[in-house]
Amino acid sequence: MKLPDSRASHWLLTVASGALSVLCFAPFRQFWLMPLLLALLFSLALAQPRARQAAGLGALWGLSAYTANFYWIYISLHDVGGMPAWLALPMTLLLPAYLCLYPALALGLAHRLGAERAWWTLPALWILSEWLRATVMTGFPWGNIGYSQIPEGPLAGWAPVGGVYLVAAWVALSAAALAHGARHGLRRAAPALALGVLVWLAGMGLKTVSWTEDAGELDVALLQGNIAQEMKWRPETFAHTLQTYQQLLDQYPARVVILPETAIPLFADQVPPGVLAWLADSARAQGSELVTGIPYQDPQHAERYYNAVLALTSPQPVYGKDHLVPFGEFVPLPWLTGWVYRYLNMPLAGFSSGGAVQAPMQLAGHRLAFNICYEDSFGDELRAGARQAEALVNLSNLAWFGHSTAADQHLQLSQTRALETGRPMLRATNTGATAVVRADGSVQARLADFTTGGLRARVETRRGQTPYLRLGDLPILLASLLVLALAIWRRLRG
């Protein structure tokens, strides 16, 4: 396949490839498109005469892809957070401008290492860049190409084996093989293309494997209060919030009832006397155990407070969110970034981390491992809790992002965590996506977004360990490093 010669056409094709990547993820879920878009990017990058030009196309692709996928940051800053448009727009572009450095690094280094001939270096470098993007400066793993395959794509079958990075590796390998074939013809690229077909066929077979076993049924209700973000923290709406959840509690009795992240918008020790006990008594009266998201101050250390999960009906360890959101839950480099909060209505931005390993809660005879908001973006961090648990539970409040694609993208992350761990994922959110995800990553039930209601379901909990639960991301990262080392050795030998 002959590519256009002009630099402008290369830029336009790169921007189009990046922008169209949004169609590969939820809610559009066109999983087949991602290898094609990446194949175009890889072909363009390797056609460049210099490594820095390949890196430039990588940066351009990342800027367009991450802007198209994460445009909802503007909604959180401007529409909800109250930041003026003149500041919210450049702040929205700041994250994609940073994230695009990682595909730039991958393609620039691939070009320098001779990936036009050694096509197999591209997948390894792409995976290492994805891992760095999810790790450096607390990380932001949304938009990992592996998520595009979950759960519909054949490659999703690899998620319980090696996690989302292994899935992403096969996507990148397929794209590199296609690019190799387009540049050098089917005959020379036959082994690469055959390998690509093989991993897709193997993925289809792996989707039929059940890695974990039934651990009994759990009767659960997930309540969605649909409290507008701009009203949530106002003292005058506190009574309305309590009344909303009390009514939902009465309407949706279950053995375990779960409220969303910060459903109670006051510190636990500042809630008027008797209110939490009243909710707990209401739950007990109908045979329910009640769990809620609530800010929680450490009684031993007054300066520490957590975005927490609290069981109101039985003594349980408090779960404090560990992986905090920069700017949203803590202030990174306050001497440098503190001025932003003069323009941003952020009620709580100084949370403490709850700790990396926290015990699951024992509720209705089942062990449930909790995570809050975008913590379920980090699969390797959820493994310790998942190994001890029979189901995962995510409490979120995505009202910050309005009627955007953010809730569907977040649901896709939860589907990936369910597949990786072989555990169902229960999602209780304020405005959506409240859902029950089966251990195979499929959605068992979902409540309509931006409605006040409850989702009651009987959930099949699971026990046992997937290969990913045992080994995590380490095997695919080591394999990628080995490929990189081989490429460097090959390059040095000339």
Active site residue 321: yes
CA nearest to 248, candidates 270, 230, 263, 267:
263
Q: Is 2 a catalytic residue?
A: no
In 187-261, beta strands by DSSP E: 213-224, 256-258
Instruction: Order across the sheet with 289-297: list the strands.
Output: 319-320, 305-311, 289-297, 256-258, 213-224, 453-463
Q: Cα 430 vs. chain centroid, distance in angstroms? A: 17
The reply to whether 373 belongs to the active site is yes
By the 10 Å C-beta count (0-12 exposed, 13-18 middle, 19+ buried), 341 is classed as middle
CA–CA gap between residue 494 and residue 375 (Å, rounded): 44
Catalytic residue, candidates 24, 130, 232, 321: 321
In the numeric block, which tokens belong to residue 125? 């470098």
Residue 120 CA from chain centroid, whole number: 27
Question: Out of 261, 289, 390, 420, which one is annotated catalytic?
Answer: 261
**Which residues, 6+ apart, have CB-to-CB distance to 488 below 8 Å?**
113
Q: Are 113 and 121 in contact (CB under 8 A)?
A: yes
Distance CA 385, CA 37 (A): 36
Of the residues 24, 116, 289, 373, only one is catalytic, namely 373
DSSP H stretches of helix in 389-473: 406-421, 467-471
**Radius of gyration of the chain measured on its C-alpha atoms:** 23
Give the separation between CA 441 and CA 419, rounded to whole angstroms: 5
Instruction: Judge whether 157 and 145 are in contact, CB under 8 Å.
Output: no
Which amino acid type is present at position 484?
Answer: L
Give the closest residue to 394 by CA, choosing from 405, 378, 402: 378
Residues noted as catalytic:
261, 321, 373
